[in-house]
Amino acid sequence: MTGPRRLGADTPEELGIVQAAVEYAYDQDWSDGLPVVPATRERTDAFLATTDRHPDEVIGRLEPLRREVTVETAAVNAVMAGCRPEYFPVVLAAWDALMLDPTTAVGAWQSTSGPAPLIVVNGPVRERLALNGGGGALGPGFRANATIARAIGLLVRNGLGVRPQVFEQATQGIPGRWGMCLAENEEESPWEPIAVDGGLAPGSDAVSAMLVRDTEFVDNRHTADPEKLLADLADTLGRTGALIFEHAAAGLVLCPEHAQLLARAGMAKEDVRRWLADHTRRSVADLRAVGKNGLTDLGGRGVRVDRPDEERSGEDRVFATDTAQHLPILVAGARNAGISSVVRLFTSWPRISARVESCPADVPVPLSLVDPEVEA
């Protein structure tokens, strides 16, 4: 035999090695709670072969924690997350897109609000990687979706050292943190992909990423009136519990049925945004009732506080602008019901999408285990 003998995990003894390897990773505190795939040199190199970027290129830095991560750090964590090598260019693009949000360099990962990346993929790469953008797009069940999002989470945890209850101080956390990666359903969207709002040409392989604090469903399947649908969306968008600052920002993940209904009424995404920015308001009386009628002026950002004696009246607009910075819109999900989602943004969307590097069609997938007796 030339070269190391590959183990097929086909005997109880060899399966025991696999289980021990998983436990080893837990013992090192490398896991987000679920089993990880051990990152060997061989497998990590297969990931690095999908990119022209140098393994030592620094791709992220968290100065308050004195940590930085490289392309290779990302590859190791992507292996551990369960990615296939050909997913790696999307992992890198997702990371690049997140780094374009300035809050990720100073405090977003540590925040008590525990924001989660919502990673949106556009372009032909969606099909190449079997990324789901149809039924259950925000849910589980698809390897590329699940592992690309998880790779970002492991990179934050292991790479930057932001571990729960130490530097990560989420009060309650968010279901789906490190689990929200979806393809946009471009085929059933009446509009241009979100990456066009992010400055790229239609048809580009691209990733857009935003930090979100929740997803809230809007179930409206029995009206054909676009204004009634928009009013229903505006009600969720204007929820007082989500108001912290003078203005809020929120994205819409519209299902194909809702997007098409609005498009049939002649509305472009800009029209939808304009309508929602104009109509999403809360009365000062409502705000006073929940202790959010007052505004401080701290560092140029108005923070909502309780001012029981303030005599102001009228209405407050929820959105500062009607742009994609404060109201990004994408289309995802099945065309089987009128169910859309509001995603509450941590701050805003920088409106810059990241390109996905092209990668060879056939990347070899090496096995992770090598028999050390043979190799020695």
Residue ranges binding other proteins (CB under 8 A): 13, 17, 20-21, 24-25, 28, 30, 38-41, 44, 60-70, 73, 76-77, 79-80, 103, 106-108, 110-112, 154-155, 158-161, 165-170, 296, 298-299, 301, 303, 305, 372-373
Cβ neighbour number for residue 290 with a 10 Å cutoff: 13
Nearer to other proteins, 63 or 362 (CB): 63
User: What's the helix, strand, coil split of the chain in %, to 5?
Assistant: 35, 20, 45
Measured from the CB atom, is 33 or 372 closer to other proteins? 372
CB of 87 to other proteins, least distance (A): 16
* Closest separation in Å from C-beta 228 to other proteins: 39
Q: Which residues contact 265 (CB under 8 A, 6 or more apart)?
A: 226
CB of 17 to other proteins, least distance (A): 7
Shortest distance (Å) from residue 67 CB to other proteins: 5
Judged by beta carbon, residue 73 or residue 340, the one nearer other proteins is 73
CB closer to other proteins out of 4 and 176 = 4
Q: Is 89 exposed, middle or buried (0-12, 13-18, 19+ CB in 10 A)?
A: buried
- Which ranges in the chain belong to alpha helices (H)? 12-27, 41-48, 71-81, 88-99, 125-128, 143-154, 194-197, 226-237, 256-264, 269-279, 284-289, 372-375
Closest CB to other proteins among 61 and 221? 61
Least Å from the CB of residue 367 to other proteins: 13
User: Which residue, 157 or 279, has its beta carbon nearer to other proteins?
Assistant: 157
Q: b or e along 228-251 (b: 16 or more beta carbons within 10 Å of the residue's beta carbon)?
A: ebbbbbbebbbbeebbeebbbbbb
Q: State the minimum distance, in angstroms, from the CB of residue 35 to other proteins.
A: 13
Using an 8 Å Cβ cutoff, are 128 and 359 in contact?
A: no
Supply 357's token pair.
């590097």
